[in-house]
Structure formats: C-alpha cells, structure tokens
Structure 1
Amino acid sequence: MLIRRNIRSLNEGRYKPALAMFADEAELMFPGDNTWSRQYRAPQPGRAAFPTHKGRAEIETFLTRYVDYGIQMEVEDILVNGPPWNTRAAVRVHHWIPDPDGNDVYANRAVLFVRTSWGKIRNQEDYEDTERVSAFDATANTDSSATSSATRRLDI
C-alpha cells in the first residue's frame, strides 16, 4: 500500500516520495504547542483546525527535519473511506528515535488524519501526545547526543 511504502521511505531517510503525495497548496496541521506546530507560525487556539505548514515548500522543510532526526515510524492500522475526489484516511502509528545503541531517546503514538483528492494530499492533521514532543524538545535543546544519530538524511 502507498502509505506504508512512503513511511518505509521516511524510515530510510528519504522524504521525497512522501513529499510527492502532497498537493502544491496542501496544509499540514499539528494541534498543540511544540516545535513541530510552531515551525512557521504560532499555533492558534480554537475549535477550527489551524494549518501550521502551508504549501509544499513548508511541508518539505518539515519532512527534511523529520528524517534528519532519524524518526522511525510503524503503522498499526489504516482506515480509508470516501470516493477518489474526497478520500479520507486515518493512520494509527507509533514512532520513535533510536540512539546509536538502539535505545529510544523519543517514543510516541499518533494518528495521522489525511484528506486526499485524486491521490494528492490536500490536508493532514497529526494528533500525538504533545507533552512527549515538548519533553523531547527540551532534551534535544540541552543534549546534542539525542539528535546526533539523525544526520543520515538522503535527498532522494
């Protein structure tokens, strides 16, 4: 399946296959307040979804950072619904960052909710434990070894 293949590419440090799935005007949303959600603009409170990344260029910067950290992701479940012009998918995953010894310096669970039209992602909203993200942010800002294994990015 395409979702699993793109996640496999991200796990291998290759972000371009995932980026190719996003429409030019796609939006990526991270509820909560952490470095993912404020990479480009401050998150806004309220009931409406708030796009934290707008367009492929901002999404590419996010994906580059993602693979630079060496984040690994495993799919637990995928639910898909809707016609090709308005397909929705929910992907439940767990993800982690291993250190050089194989110990997890970060681990979390998430649900990625995606809306596509004719095979292109129009918007994606990632729900995860933002307290774990913030705790990792604090560790990464004080301990460079937490991110030293994440320098294996490939630009293919």
Structure 2
Amino acid sequence: MRLSSSLAVVAGGALALGARAALPHLIARKVRSDLDKLNAGDHRPMLAAYADDAILRFPVGDHRWSGEHRGKTAIERFLREFTAAGLFGEITELHASGPPWRMTLLARFDDHALGPRGQRLYDNRAVLLGRLRWGKIVEHEDFFADTGPLETLERRLRELDRHPVT
C-alpha cells in the first residue's frame, strides 16, 4: 500500500471516530433546544424529533398523560397537553451512546407547573430513556421517582378549569 493510501485510510478512520464522538453532543444540544421551545409553548420542534411510528410510554395513572402513545398524532396530543398544563422541564443530565442507527439516550428530567398566581402546582423528577435511529426518536419511556404528584397535578389542573386538550 502506498503512503498516500495509508494516510487516506488513517485520516478517514480518524474522521469517522471524531464524527461518532461529536454526534452525542449534537443530539444533546438539539434535545435541549427543542425542550426550550417546548417550555416556551411550541411543541412542533420536539414533535419533529420523533419518527412517524415512534412510541412514547408514560407511567399509567389517573392523569391525562397516562399510557402508551403511538405515532406522531398521539405524541403531538401528549406534547400539547404538556404545554397546555403549563409544565416546564429541564434536563439536568444527558447521556448518549451507541451508533447513529441504534443510539440510546438517558436523561435526568426535572419538571414543574405553575398556577395562575405563580404558585407551584407540581414538582417532580424522572429519568427518560430514548432510543434513536438516525437522529429520530423511535422509542421514549419516562420513569418517575413518584407518580403521585402527577395525579395531584391532574386534580389541581381540573380545579383551575384546565381540562385535557381534545
């Protein structure tokens, strides 16, 4: 093998390794940006991150987000409920691993909701598990430290006449 061919192989390998190392950071930046927009009331950038056939699983209980949400239409309804309820989320840690065709994300997610006078209606924390394929979320599951606050939030939202989005 000639020297120029060897250098090309080494350079190509280094470029591939560098791109693979940078990808989790790019995904993390995109997720945080989409969450900032969701917190501002725009669910569309977050929705665009999901594959058409994605599945979002949320802890079952007596609240509007309960259960499995299949496909973009169901996930859009879920995200609209998030913004309509006045929820705000923050990713405090995010870890990504795996190749682009089978990437795994783990995130610590803290969220809260405020009432009409700025009082805290809800505080909770969760771990989010995401599976991505070529940059699109195909599977998303939330694991909450305590699901009781979700049911309390649901009662408080109904008392404030904030009913589920239809």
Q: Same fold (TM over 0.5)?
A: yes
Q: TM-score, normalised by structure 2?
A: 0.75
Q: CA deviation digits over 1:116-142, x for unaligned, max 9?
A: 00000000001112111112122223x
SS in 1 for 2:152: helix
Structure 2 gap segments, 5+ residues each: 1-28
- Residue 104 of structure 1 is matched in structure 2 by 120
Q: TM-score, normalised by structure 1?
A: 0.80
Q: How does 1:4-83 map to 2 (within 5 A)?
A: 4-35=32-63, 36-38=65-67, 52-83=68-99
- Distance (Å, rounded) in 1 between the aligned partners of 2:151 and 2:116: 22
Q: Bigger radius of gyration, 1 or 2?
A: 2
What RMSD, in angstroms, separates the aligned Cα atoms of the two structures?
1.8
Deviation at 1:61, TM superposition (A): 0.6
Sequence identity (%): 34
Structure 1 gap segments, 5+ residues each: 39-51, 149-156
SS in 2 for 1:94: strand
Q: Higher relative contact order by CA 8 Å / sep ≥ 6: 1 or 2? A: 1
Deviation at 1:31, TM superposition (A): 2.7
- Distance (Å, rounded) in 2 between the aligned partners of 1:96 and 1:31: 17
Given the alignment of the two structures, is residue 90 of structure 1 paired with residue 106 of structure 2, yes or no? yes
How many positions carry a matched residue from both structures?
134
- Residue 46 of structure 1 is matched in structure 2 by none
Stretches of 4+ aligned residues off by more than 4 angstroms: none
- Distance (Å, rounded) in 2 between the aligned partners of 1:64 and 1:95: 16
Q: CA deviation digits over 1:27-72, x for unaligned, max 9?
A: 000133232114xxxxxxxxxxxxx100000000111111111111
